[in-house]
Structure 1
Amino acid sequence: MSIRAELRAYALTLPEAFEDFPWEDDAVVKVNKKIFLFLGSPEHGTGFGVKLVVAHGHALSVPGAIPSRYGLGRAGWVTVPYASDLPEFDVLQDWVEESYRLVAPKRLGKLL
């Protein structure tokens, strides 16, 4: 399974998370109508995006990672490339969970 597919599968296990396609093939995972994970399209998905505070610097240390475009980087969003030199998957799961906690209502965050 690809990293993209694994991240998607993990994100969808979080309370009240659901997948959406707001821009053609570009997939996102939302909670309470708010995006917490950008997955990109399966064909052109060059990276994933998460909102981070605690792990922000660590995510930016991944080769090729950048603050997300369209002004999202100023709010803590990081775009991390799907590459062979990613941290272990449990670290990526931690990033997705942190992003979820930052976006989800507090009542849902407490369920984790």
Structure 2
Amino acid sequence: MRHPDLHRLVDYALTLPGATEHHPWGEYAIKVKGKSFVFLSGGRSGKACAITAKLPESGDAVLSVHAFASPAGYNLGKSGWVSAEFPEHEDAPVDLLKGWIDESYRAIAPKAKKSR
């Protein structure tokens, strides 16, 4: 059984313009124009909710305020990616994590070209 908040976050990420769902390594990679902007998974146990997002604006504050947040592995933390995991019996702060998804999307999505 998957964490109930996992699918709420996946569904939300897929509402963003151009977002597509992919499944590398058995987790969700939500992409825009072929670039991942958020990774979501059931966690290592298959029962937790885990998220990794690029937070160039709020990352430092998130890491200093929220004990559940940590720099992402694979040296992604150096580039502003932040991870968090929530056990099955614990509600994930869905509204906060939707904000992470929005910020990560804005950081990764191609910028609209201005017309003259």
| Alignment TM-score, normalising by the size of structure 2 | 0.79
Aligned residue pairs, count: 107
Classify the secondary structure of the residue corresponding to 1:69: coil
Q: Which amino acid aligns with 1:38?
A: F
Check the 8 A contact 2:49/2:92 in 1, yes or no: no
RMSD of aligned Cα (Å): 2.4
Q: Is the radius of gyration larger for structure 1 or structure 2? A: 2
Describe the SS at the equivalent of 1:70: coil
Q: 1:98 pairs with 86, 103, 107, which one?
A: 103
| Gaps in structure 2 of 5+ consecutive residues | none
Q: In structure 2, what is the equivalent of residue 49 of structure 1? A: 52
The one-letter code sitting in structure 2 at the alignment partner of 1:47 is A
Question: Equivalent residue of 2:82, what SS?
Answer: strand
What residue is the counterpart of 1:80 in the other structure?
A: 84
Partners of 1:40 and 1:90 in 2: how far apart? 17
Deviation at 1:104, TM superposition (A): 0.5
